[in-house]
Structure 1
Amino acid sequence: MPHIILLGTLDTKHEEVLYLYNQLKKTASRFSHPLQITLIDCGRQPIADDAIAITHTDLMTKYAGDNTEISKLSRGEAIEFLIACVESCVRDLLKTNDIHGIIGTGGSGGTSLISAVMRAAAPIGLPKLIASTVASGNTGPIVGECDITLMYSVVDIAGTNQLLRDILDNAAGAIFGMASAYEHRLEDQKASGALQKSSGRKTRVGITMFGVTTACVDCIRNHLETQYPVEVYVFHATGHGGKAMERLVEEDRLDAILDITTTEICDLVAGGTMSCDTDRLEMMLKKGIPTIISVGATDMVNFGPMDTVPLQYQKRKLLVHNPTVTLMRTSSDECQKVGEFIVQKVCQFSRDPAKVEVWLPRGGVSLLATSGSEFEDQQADAILANTVQLGLKESKTRVVSDDRDINDSGFAIDIADRLMALIPLMKQ
């Protein structure tokens, strides 16, 4: 029997959330399939309804902690406070119950609350869906690095007109289907778990990639999958890609990392559109899993269409990658800052420096940085490499300076083999 958590602010969306609740029940009954729903009231004011499994009062009593009077908080403060309460509640439910899906609906405030809870409390892979008024537009802050599915409500979540009913019907059907599939998948995984234990689980390797490092990563992936018992996870280094990889490291779902493409650090340094957070690189270093860091695509910063490039950068070396992405060549100063970022993270957070290496492809850090290519700048690339080498000179982290470019097949195979040589250290 699938078990779905339903989140909603019932003090403002009572009718709409209850309609979604009833549609979930109807959907299950149409398929003669039992369904358990745990409705959590995430609103600021208590609402009485028999459908509510965890009331506002329950949340305040068990999770408020410091007896905060929510009525005295501003709207923004109240949402942050409720996020913390609901997050703790959902974490507890996931620990004590088999949960197969989470769904919610709301406007901007409700979506902010529901999505924050989903990102923080629910593991990647567990179905998550929000029917929202803000599901069309800049959804990056809502989804983050997680697998949240958004369904645009078209009209506001206000009343239950026929169009909104249609949308919520679809949402109920979607989460019911996903939750049912997830439940069956868990059963299959349990059944295959014994076989994996007897035959040995594959090593799970995370790799970061960009279009200009694709040749390298494809070669690595092919080599690892044909020569070793490895399962490869490739992450597109667009800002959220690095976050997603590190989220899986945190959840112990990756065993080793080839951080080939660290271009997101360039966007952090220069204010590009595909920036990582300031804690990039930290999670795998803290975990102490085998990690090789390289400097793929550190020759570029990402912006939107050409007319969106900030004024201070308009005289820099720019390249239209496609109609929605303009690349800017990193300067010597920016490359130095990228190198300093890598050094600082490795020195400060490496739990086991013997399992960490940094590889520097001196022949070019991307398809565009090789000799004669659009972003060739040997001086800038050398400054980055030299900053890393000098900064890690007294550390226990091995730095490999290689004359080949990053997409050279020999470089790719060598770095892949070296990562696998570090794997046995996991058992020591």
Structure 2
Amino acid sequence: MCADKTILIAGTYDTKDDELTYLADCIRAQGGGVLSMDVSVLGDPKAPTDVSKHDVAEAGGSSIQAAIDSGDENIAMQIMARGAAAKALELYRAGRIDGVVVLGGTMGTDLALDLCAALPLGVPKYVVSTVSFSAMLPPERLAADIQMILWAGGLYGLNSVCKSSLSQAAGAVLGAARAVEPSKRDRPLIGMTSFGKTILRYMVTLKPALEDRGYEVAVFHATGMGGRAFESLAAEGAFACVMDFATQEVGNHLMGSGISAGADRLTNAGAAGIPQMVAPACYDLVDLIGWQPLPERLSDRPAHAHNRLLTSVVLNQDERREVAQVMAAKLSDAKAPVAFFLPTGGCNEWDRPGAPLHDADGLAAFCDEMRRACPANVTLEELACHINDAQFSARVLALFDDWVAQGLIPRGAV
């Protein structure tokens, strides 16, 4: 039977040959194809793999001997991680693989995160790990569409417990490769960031208005992983324009929150030469993990428990000024036009006069600092309204139409 989809299986075949072979057998039993990649350093697999450990090390700009000679398992596995990421991307671009599954403990998982991050959004990525969902895994290293399953009872050798995880992974990655709908990109794509309608509402007006103009609109939930997906696509140059209005993840990262999209938030669209419309929705808040106690330095602040997962804490004036400085610095390197909308009436629904988290002096401090710090390549547009008011969306659409008329944004497929 001819395999319809081919899955890359990566792991240390010197120590986990039986488990990786079982995984391959499960995929083949379902009619899928397998391409094997060995990321071992010291030992060898029982039988040759399609991509040898020597191929992997060379793709990482080094060699197996150099990894061995380093005398350090961390250095050695980072050589293999670089090579595995480069080799996986090469195989995908050549049309030889349709998805990937990686197996490992902490060492293999460390490598798996790099490998998965190298592949574009939409390529099925499955990690079977003894540390799946662990706090050891920083959000900024997780590919936006990575899938994980705990490798329960699988640290050493096959058994009925770990076979359950491995067989599920085999079915999941092959099923995903068969079911995934490739992006059509038949209309220019607009990337927008926001939160739910209880706090931000502009997307309710903007999305249909942009669709009527012949554009596709993807709205990203800016709570860490949503920002990662947004930045990943921006780095690929996938967007015709971005409306990055919910930039709170910049402040989250600055304040050390676990709800982070990484250090490169608010930079990839500019680096890719994508026109940007930016606004500071929820700049005044830092999101924290709701089931953890508030840090002592923030415990006396006004806060809103959005649910049991997420609590938002209000920033003070100095912190708001720092957020403005960081945003301005990130935008200063943009290679395409940037418009920064500054709604002087408030930047989220909890920040209206009379609302529980409103701080007029804090808003004024942020606005003052943004005026001062705004770089020369950014057009600062002050709007005497709240970010959820109709005036905000109207001005966004007016500038968007102007940029289309100037040829800065491709015309929609009407």
TM-score in same-fold range (> 0.5): yes
Counterpart of 1:26? 29
In the TM superposition, what is the alpha-carbon distance from 1:177 to its structure 2 partner? 1.6
Q: Distance in 1 between matches of 2:395 and 2:371?
A: 19
**Deviation string, structure 1 residues 221-240 (Cα, Å, up to 9, x no partner):** 12222x31111111111123
Counterpart of 2:153? 155
Counterpart of 2:303? 318
**Deviation string, structure 1 residues 238-275 (Cα, Å, up to 9, x no partner):** 12322221110111221110011111122223233323
- Would the aligned equivalents of 2:125 and 2:146 in 1 still touch at CA under 8 Å? yes
Aligned amino acid, residue 299 of structure 1: D
Counterpart of 1:10? 13
Match of 1:335 among 320, 334, 349: 320
In the TM superposition, what is the alpha-carbon distance from 1:320 to its structure 2 partner? 2.2
Q: For residues 339-418 of structure 1, what are the structure 2 equivalents within 5 Å? A: 339-347=324-332, 349-352=333-336, 355-392=337-374, 395-418=376-399
Equivalent pairs counted in the alignment come to 403
Specify whether residues 306 and 332 from structure 1 end up closer, same or farther in structure 2 by C-alpha distance, changes over 3 A only: farther
Counterpart of 1:259? 244
**Deviation string, structure 1 residues 167-193 (Cα, Å, up to 9, x no partner):** 2222212222222234xx45xx7xxx7
Specify whether residues 305 and 176 from structure 1 end up closer, same or farther in structure 2 by C-alpha distance, changes over 3 A only: closer
Q: Distance in 2 between matches of 1:51 and 1:21?
A: 14
Specify whether residues 415 and 4 from structure 1 end up closer, same or farther in structure 2 by C-alpha distance, changes over 3 A only: same
**Deviation string, structure 1 residues 384-417 (Cα, Å, up to 9, x no partner):** 122222223x714221111111111231232134
Q: Distance in 2 between matches of 1:94 and 1:305?
A: 39
Q: Does 1:278 align with 2:275?
A: no
- Would the aligned equivalents of 2:236 and 2:272 in 1 still touch at CA under 8 Å? no
Counterpart of 2:97? 99
**Deviation string, structure 1 residues 78-109 (Cα, Å, up to 9, x no partner):** 22111011112112212323421111222222
Aligned amino acid, residue 216 of structure 1: Y
SS of residue matched to 1:292? strand
After superposition, the CA RMSD in angstroms is: 2.3
Specify whether residues 343 and 210 from structure 1 end up closer, same or farther in structure 2 by C-alpha distance, changes over 3 A only: same
**Deviation string, structure 1 residues 312-331 (Cα, Å, up to 9, x no partner):** 11112222222232221111
SS of residue matched to 1:425? coil
Specify whether residues 84 and 73 from structure 1 end up closer, same or farther in structure 2 by C-alpha distance, changes over 3 A only: farther
Counterpart of 2:49? 52
- Structure 2 runs not aligned, ≥5 long: none
Specify whether residues 136 and 304 from structure 1 end up closer, same or farther in structure 2 by C-alpha distance, changes over 3 A only: closer
Specify whether residues 45 and 374 from structure 1 end up closer, same or farther in structure 2 by C-alpha distance, changes over 3 A only: same
Aligned-pair identity (%): 24
398-407 or 318-327: bigger deviation: 318-327
SS of residue matched to 1:350? coil
Counterpart of 2:202? 216
Aligned amino acid, residue 12 of structure 1: T
**Deviation string, structure 1 residues 354-382 (Cα, Å, up to 9, x no partner):** x2100011111101101111111111111
Q: Distance in 1 between matches of 2:60 and 2:327?
A: 39
Q: Distance in 2 between matches of 1:306 and 1:11?
A: 41
SS of residue matched to 2:135? coil
Aligned amino acid, residue 26 of structure 1: A
TM-score, normalised by the number of residues in structure 1: 0.87
**Deviation string, structure 1 residues 190-242 (Cα, Å, up to 9, x no partner):** xxx7xx8xxxx3221111112354312222212222x3111111111112322
155-164 or 48-57: bigger deviation: 48-57
Specify whether residues 391 and 308 from structure 1 end up closer, same or farther in structure 2 by C-alpha distance, changes over 3 A only: same
Aligned amino acid, residue 322 of structure 1: N
TM-score, normalised by the number of residues in structure 2: 0.90
Q: Distance in 2 between matches of 1:238 and 1:63?
A: 33
Specify whether residues 71 and 23 from structure 1 end up closer, same or farther in structure 2 by C-alpha distance, changes over 3 A only: farther
- Would the aligned equivalents of 2:194 and 2:221 in 1 still touch at CA under 8 Å? yes
Counterpart of 1:32? none
Q: Does 1:132 align with 2:117?
A: no
Counterpart of 2:77? 79
Q: Distance in 1 between matches of 2:193 and 2:176?
A: 28
Q: For residues 63-78 of structure 1, what are the structure 2 equivalents within 5 Å? A: 63-65=60-62, 68-78=66-76
SS of residue matched to 1:53? coil
Q: Does 1:181 align with 2:193?
A: no
Q: Distance in 2 between matches of 1:289 and 1:369?
A: 30
Specify whether residues 92 and 207 from structure 1 end up closer, same or farther in structure 2 by C-alpha distance, changes over 3 A only: same
- Structure 1 runs not aligned, ≥5 long: 29-34
Q: Does 1:422 align with 2:403?
A: yes
In the TM superposition, what is the alpha-carbon distance from 1:128 to its structure 2 partner? 0.9
Q: Distance in 2 between matches of 1:418 and 1:113?
A: 44
Q: Distance in 2 between matches of 1:103 and 1:219?
A: 40
Specify whether residues 397 and 156 from structure 1 end up closer, same or farther in structure 2 by C-alpha distance, changes over 3 A only: same
Q: Distance in 2 between matches of 1:206 and 1:292?
A: 10
Q: Distance in 1 between matches of 2:59 and 2:393?
A: 53
